[in-house]
Amino acid sequence: MVNILDFNLEDLNIWMKQNGEKEFRAKQVINWIYNKIWDFNKMSNLPKSTREKLKSFFYIGIPEVVEIYESSGDDTKKFLYKYRDGSVIECVEMDYNYGNSICVSTQVGCRMGCKFCASTIGGVIRNLTAGEIIAQILCTESITHKKISNVVLMGSGEPLDNYENTIKFLDIINKDYGLNIGHRHITLSTCGIVPKIYELADLNLQITLAISLHASSDEERRKTMPIANKYSIEEIIDSCKYYINKTNRRITFEYALVKNINDSIESAKKLAKLLQSLLCHVNLIPVNQVTESDLKKPAKENIKKFSNILTELGINNTIRREMGSDINAACGQLRRNYMNNIEERC
Ligand code: SAH
C-alpha cells in the first residue's frame, strides 16, 4: 500500500490516467485530504468505482496520537505520533501573537550524534517520507483546530540528511492545493551538511536557513558535534555566503550556550569575528538540559553578557525564550522518555 500523502498533484494526475480515471479526479481527492477528510468512502463527489480503486492502492497516512502534553506556562503543546510501522516521533505546536508555529521531525531519531541532543541518542531508525512530515501538520491542525502558519524543521532528525523527502515536503505544503504555507514562513535547521546547503541554495527557495553552529571554533565545535570532523566552520560559512547570494535571505545561526564549553567572553568575540559582515542573526539558546548528558546551561547573567558582546561587535542576536521546558519540549526528549518507559515496561 502507498501513502497518498506522498503524492503531489502531478503524481496523482499520472496515477489517475494510468488507472483509467479522469485527471480532474486527482484534484478532487487532494482537496478532500487537505480539508481533512481522511476516509475515501466519504469523498462523495467520486464514483464508487474510483473510491474502490483508491482504497485498494492507497492508505491515508495520518499517524496515531499517542500522547498530547500541554505546557502550563505558555501556549506550547507537544504531540507524540505513531506511524503505521510503529515508529514514534514528536512534534511541537507553539502559539505566538503572529500565528501558530509547528516544529516537525524529519527522521525517526538522528545520526548526527550532537552531545546535547536527545534525538540522536539511539541513532537514526529511518527517514520520514514527505507525506509523513506533512501528516504531522495535518494531524496537529485537526486536533487544535488552528491553522498552522509557520513551520520549523527543528524536530528530530537532520533535514539535509533526508534531502529529497524534505524538498518534496517543502514543495507540497507551499502549494495552494496543499497547506498554502509561504516559504518565507518556513525555517529549515541543519547542523551544516555543506554540499546540501549548496544544492538547497541552487533551488532558490525563499525559506530561512538556520545553521546549528553552537561553537566559535572548530576545536570547540568538535567537543559537542561530530559533524565538525567532516566540515569546518569556514566551509559552512562559505556555503552560507553562497546561500545568501543566491536567495538574498538572512541566515540564522543557532548557538546553544553550554556552561564552560562555549560560553566564554573569548568565544563571543571569536563568534562575532566569524560572522562579521554576514547577513545573519544569532539565536542564543540556553542549552536545554538532557537527562543523559551532563551539559549545563550557563547562569542568566553570563548569557546576557555573551549577548551584549555580540551586540557591541555588531552582531544581531536574541536570547531565545525557553518555551515548554516543563513538557520536555527540547529536541527528542519526549520520544526518548516514551521509549525509555516502554523499555522499562518490557
Ligand atoms: N538536525 C537539525 C535540526 C534539528 S535540532 C539541526 O541540527 O539543526 C533543532 C535545533 O535544536 C538545533 O539547533 C539543535 O542543535 C538544537 N538542540 C538540540 N538539542 C538541544 C538542547 N538540548 N538544548 C538546546 N538546543 C538543542
Task: Work out which ligand 1 atom sits closest to the CA atom of 210.
Answer: 8
- Give dist(CA 46, CA 72) in Å, integer: 45
pLDDT at 293: 77
DSSP string, 107-172: EEE-SS--TT-GGGTT-EEEEPPHHHHHHHHHHHHHHH---EEEEEE-SSS-GGGSHHHHHHHHHH
331 is catalytic: yes
Nearest to 157, CA basis, from 198, 193, 197, 112: 112
Q: pLDDT at position 345, please?
A: 45
Atom of ligand 1 nearest to the CA of 161: 1
The rounded Å distance from CA 289 to ligand 1 centre is 12
With b for 16 or more beta-carbon neighbours within 10 A and e for fewer, the 265-291 pattern comes to eebbebbbebbeeeebbbbbbbbbebe
Residue keyed to cell 527540547? 330
Hey, where are the domains in the chain? 2-59, 64-345
pTM of this prediction? 0.94
**How close is the Cα of 157 to the center of ligand 1, in Å?**
9
Q: Which of 21, 90, 141, 220 is catalytic?
A: 90
Residue 244, CA distances (Å) to 151, 187, 316 in order: 20, 14, 16
Catalytic hit among 93, 141, 331, 346? 331
Cβ contacts of 234 within 8 Å, gap of 6 or more: none
H/E stretch holding 183: none
Distance CA 93, CA 78 (A): 6
Q: Is the CB of 330 under 6 A from ligand 1?
A: yes
Q: Which residue has the cell 474510483?
A: 50
Residue list, annotated binding site for [4Fe-4S] cluster: 110, 114, 117
Scan for cell 546549528, then name that residue: 212
Nearest of 228, 303, 204, 223 to residue 263 by alpha carbon: 303
Residue 256: φ, ψ to 5°: -80, 120
Name which residue sits closest to atom 19 of ligand 1, judged by CA: 117
Domain 2-59 of CATH type 1.20.1260.10? no
Q: Would the CB of 237 count as within 6 Å of ligand 1? A: no
- Which grid cell is 1? 500500500
The pLDDT score that the predictor gives to residue 329 is 53
Q: How far is the CA of 99 from the centre of ligand 1 (A)?
A: 22
Distance 50 CA to ligand 1 centre (A): 44
Nearest to 228 by CA among 242, 248, 212, 239: 212
DSSP code for 19: T
**Per-residue pLDDT tens digits for 292-337:** 778 999 999 999 999 999 999 999 999 987 655 655 555 566 566 6
Residue 90: strand pairing partners: 80
> Whose Cα sits closest to atom 8 in ligand 1?
190
- Does ligand 1 come within 6 angstroms of the Cβ of 158? yes
Closest CA to 251 of 224, 282, 284: 282
User: Has 191 been annotated as catalytic?
Assistant: no
Of ligand 1's listed atoms, the one at least distance from the Cα of 214 is: 15
- DSSP sequence for 323-345: -SGGGT-STTHHHHHHHHHHHHH
Ranges under pLDDT 70 in the chain: 74, 322-346
Architecture of domain 64-345: Alpha-Beta Barrel (3.20)
Binding site membership of 212 for ligand 1 (Cβ less than 6 Å): yes
Of 305, 299, 329, nearest in space to 317 by CA = 305
What is the rounded distance in angstroms from the CA atom of residue 96 to the CA atom of residue 121? Answer: 30
Tens digit of pLDDT for each residue in 215-228? 999 999 999 999 99
Query: What residue owns the CA closest to ligand 1's atom 18?
Result: 117
> What confidence score (pLDDT) does residue 338 get?
64
